[in-house]
Amino acid sequence: MTDYNDRIEEMLEKVQKAPRYTGGEMNAQVKSWEEAPLHFAFCFPDTYEIGMSHLGMKILTGIINDQDWSLAERCFMPWIDMMELMKENQVPLFSLESRRPLKEFDVVGFTLMYEMSYSNVLAMLEMGGIPIMRDERGEEDPIVVAGGGCASNPEPMSPFIDAFMIGAGEEVILEVNRVILDRKTQGLSREECLKRLAHLHGVYVPAFYRAEYNEDGTLKSFEPVSPEFPARIEKRYVYDFDHTYFPTKFPVPYTDVVFDRITLEIMRGCTRGCRFCQAGMLYRPVRERSLETLVKQAEDLVASTGYEEISLSSLSSGDYSCLPELIRELMRRMKDKRVSISLPSLRIDSVLKESLEETQQVKKSSLTFAPEAGTQRLRDVINKGVTEEDLIEKVRDAFEGGWSSVKLYFMDGLPTETEADLDGIADLARKVVAEYFHVPKEKRAKGLRVTVSASTFVPKPFTPFQWAAQDTIPVINQKQEHLREVLKIKGVNFNWHAPNLSFLEACFSRGDRRMGEVLKRAYERGCKLDGWNDQFKFDEWMQAFADCEIDPAFYANRERKKDELLPWDFIDCGITKEFLWREKEKSDRAEVTRDCRQGCNGCGIQRYKGLCSYAEGKGKQHADTGSI
């Protein structure tokens, strides 16, 4: 091992944010390299302040480090200034804990949470001394693995990743590591190691699968190269969410990060069935943690980190079945410590008034609601299942409770959207502003701020809209210009997403293996850190498509047919394709599907016994509350 410490220390004096690269934070776990035979580099393909807000990293590194036979160290995408210094000083990309180059680890693992971080994966591999292409790696190179939400369609990244973990990483990560440890201790060849990984439940090894295409570019077939490999990859699930691993210590950064607080995952999954929401489909069914477990985790984390805010995290925190009781108990225990409770994700038809009143005792922050669409017709199309009355009632509760800052999230470009639906966004914003002024002046908090954000619809795999076409960039621009005009309302700020970025996200979201060619070419043309507006090079991406003779509109702007073989069809994510098509047809009729709590809708999860209590008619999906 080459000692790069002196060079790294010199570079840290010249970069903009040195704490991104120093490590050594409170609660950071540093294990002996020599005593742990299996070495895992957990790589987050974005900057430190983004990655340190990611709960999955904390869970998985904790699981690995809890084993005496393995260690996990963290690595993040460096910023431009650090990359230039690393190249100038011939320093490879290194881990935070031991400052070892990535190439010296046995496993290099990436979490894929956002399609626009894919170019960073290639950059981190190259900077770490690892061949970018999986078929160019030799016996001395690490095994490169990946997981996360975007791994549900692994094909665009399949030229670069040796093995994908599909589903809950908590369930499969140690099995993967044991196989790779066997490679090291038993002298297995790289190919034999990959074969053993391919036989693990929930692991996809792209080297053992082949794709063929029709003349029109659509997928003709996708199958394993040998009958010994499964034709379909079934995702892994956490069955007992209340007792699954959750860390009681988080590394506490020396610098500001995006979510600089305790994240308490109160439940996983969602029963609502919003048709645009990939997470709501992929993370089914709902599984809750008990009050007893959550209160214990909160107390442990406050004691170990010193944070003064706890975020109750889930896809829809307001749907947690014991939310008022949980907040009441947390506030009772945390109020004297001046620890506040935040609810980052609220359903506007949830029972929230009591909970909001409890959370304001220590600190008031902005409340966020997500109507998603401006008219009831379009909300029914996307199966949002909420009404204008729901929103106004909850906003009224918030304003009467002393809030003056409200954020409203919408989407533009949804299937069947019309100008009337866009005008409906402005109408809702006006009604929210009016509700503030209905509160008596002596009770009204000062400084009204209503922020309306509109993100562009991106069709995602494993949703009823996976067959839908995305609006073209000119159409999106027209819609956003219309929104800018109609949202010129006093007290209202309007934010929107760059359509070029959403267009490229759609290409990767529904891409096949050929998108890997485009990604490699774009990276060669200098594309990286694409999620950052000042670094995004749209023209270079379009040139990369041209260089590869691939039309991006084929992926983003084309409607799929019912019988088309989709690049991700070989993944069994629990939800059946038949259910998704039924939901697509119901969206065409603006017909709402009931919440799973009101009865099973037959999405496919009911196949797994003991996983979804709603499918089995057992009612609430949470563990016994126990005594507090």
Phi, then psi, of 147 in degrees rounded to 5? -155, -165
Share above pLDDT 70 across residues of the chain, in percent, rounded to a whole number: 94
Residue pLDDT, tens place only, 487-545: 999 999 999 998 999 999 999 999 999 999 999 999 999 999 999 999 999 999 999 99
pLDDT at 97: 97
Average pLDDT, the chain: 93
Under DSSP, the state recorded for 247 is -
pLDDT at 350: 55
pLDDT score of 348 more than 80 = no
Closest CA to 234 of 196, 269, 201: 201
Q: Which two tokens stand for residue 345?
A: 């994700």
Residue pLDDT, tens place only, 421-458: 999 999 999 999 999 999 998 888 889 999 999 999 99
pLDDT score of 198 more than 90 = yes
Task: Report the distance separating Cα 340 and Cα 366, nearest Å.
Answer: 13
Contacts with 598 (C-beta within 8 Å, 6 or more apart), sequence order: none
**C-alpha angle with apex 318: 487 to 413, nearest 5 degrees?**
35
Residue of 347 and 333 predicted with greater confidence: 333
* Continuous segment of H or E residues that includes residue 41: strand 38-44
Q: Where does the pLDDT of residue 619 fall: very low under 50, low under 70, confident under 90, or very high at 90 and above?
A: low
210-234 average pLDDT score = 97
Please state, as a whole number, how many other Cβ atoms lie within 10 Å of the Cβ of residue 181. 20
pLDDT at 524: 98
Q: Where does the pLDDT of residue 355 fall: very low under 50, low under 70, confident under 90, or very high at 90 and above?
A: low
291-296 average pLDDT score = 97
Q: Where does the pLDDT of residue 365 fall: very low under 50, low under 70, confident under 90, or very high at 90 and above?
A: low
Please state, as a whole number, how many other Cβ atoms lie within 10 Å of the Cβ of residue 463. 24
Q: Which two tokens stand for residue 623?
A: 């563990």
pLDDT at 556: 98
587-598 average pLDDT score = 95
Task: Report the distance separating Cα 391 and Cα 373, nearest Å.
Answer: 12
Task: Report the distance separating Cα 342 and Cα 367, nearest Å.
Answer: 9
600-608 average pLDDT score = 94
Task: Report the distance separating Cα 417 and Cα 381, nearest Å.
Answer: 9
Phi, then psi, of 295 in degrees rounded to 5? -65, -40
Closest CA to 411 of 314, 584, 277, 281: 277
pLDDT score of 228 more than 60 = yes
pLDDT at 616: 76
67-86 average pLDDT score = 98
Domains of the chain plus CATH, in order, are 5-167+169-234 (3.40.50.280), 237-365 (3.30.750.210)
pLDDT at 345: 56
Does the predicted model carry a pTM greater than 0.85? Answer: yes
pLDDT at 621: 44
